[in-house]
Structure 1
């Protein structure tokens, strides 16, 4: 069974990426993030762009895990794009590992219950 708990900054957040409702929140959060990212001005003050990017990450986690989650995740973390990205990449690694493990488990189960064509032929040849 794949890991469904993401441990970050003293928080244990559960996310089952085989559950349709959870995947829908995940997809919607990334859709919203991509749309909002396009609205961040490319010029102007760097500090404003950094704050806007950090807000994107906060909204992403609140959409996936529930309102107020980002306050817990980023508690004590400075409004630093590097710090926020580090947490974001940790989450992406968690999700990727879960998707990969679930895919492997599904394939293993399918293989277990789907006999190999060559094995079937050999078995039929023995019967003759």
Structure 2
């Protein structure tokens, strides 16, 4: 059974990685975050870079779960560690869901090669 909820910081969010609509939001947000990080300005102070990264993560969670999610999750705190821990937690949930889907699909496959060949002829 897949997990359909993401629990973090005492809160619970819909996170069904087998649902096309949720997966589309997640994929778009991951792509946006990845592109933002690649194009992040290299100049400036460490503080400016940390603020920029915080803003990227802030947008990520709002993009995945809807506007206002970051405020709910982090209570207006701009702490890179909190953002990264939440991000890692969500990515780990995605990996677990992917493993469950693969195991389910593999259980549907015939166990021996001869049977698989017969099914595809």
Per the TM superposition, whether the score is higher than 0.5 is yes
Change (3 A) 1:41 1:118: closer
SS of 1:79's partner is coil
What is aligned with 1:17?
17
SS of 1:13's partner is strand
CA displacement at 1:50 relative to structure 2: 0.6
What is aligned with 1:82?
81
TM-score normalised by length of structure 2: 0.83
TM-score normalised by length of structure 1: 0.79
What is aligned with 1:125?
none
SS of 1:6's partner is strand
Q: Which moved more, 1:95-104 or 1:33-42?
A: 33-42
Gaps of 5+ in 1: 121-128
What is aligned with 2:119?
none
Give yes or no for contact 2:37–2:53 (8 Å, CA) kept in 1.
yes
Residue number among 112, 115, 119 corresponding to 1:116 in the alignment: 112
CA displacement at 1:39 relative to structure 2: 3.1
Change (3 A) 1:118 1:91: same
Q: Deviations over 1:66-92 (max 9, x none)?
A: 11111111126x422222211111111
Q: Within the alignment, does 1:69 sit opposite 2:69 as a pair?
A: yes
CA displacement at 1:95 relative to structure 2: 1.1
Give yes or no for contact 2:74–2:82 (8 Å, CA) kept in 1.
no
Q: Distance in 2 between matches of 1:118 and 1:27?
A: 38
Q: How many corresponding residue pairs?
A: 116
Q: Distance in 1 between matches of 2:32 and 2:13?
A: 21
Gaps of 5+ in 2: 117-121
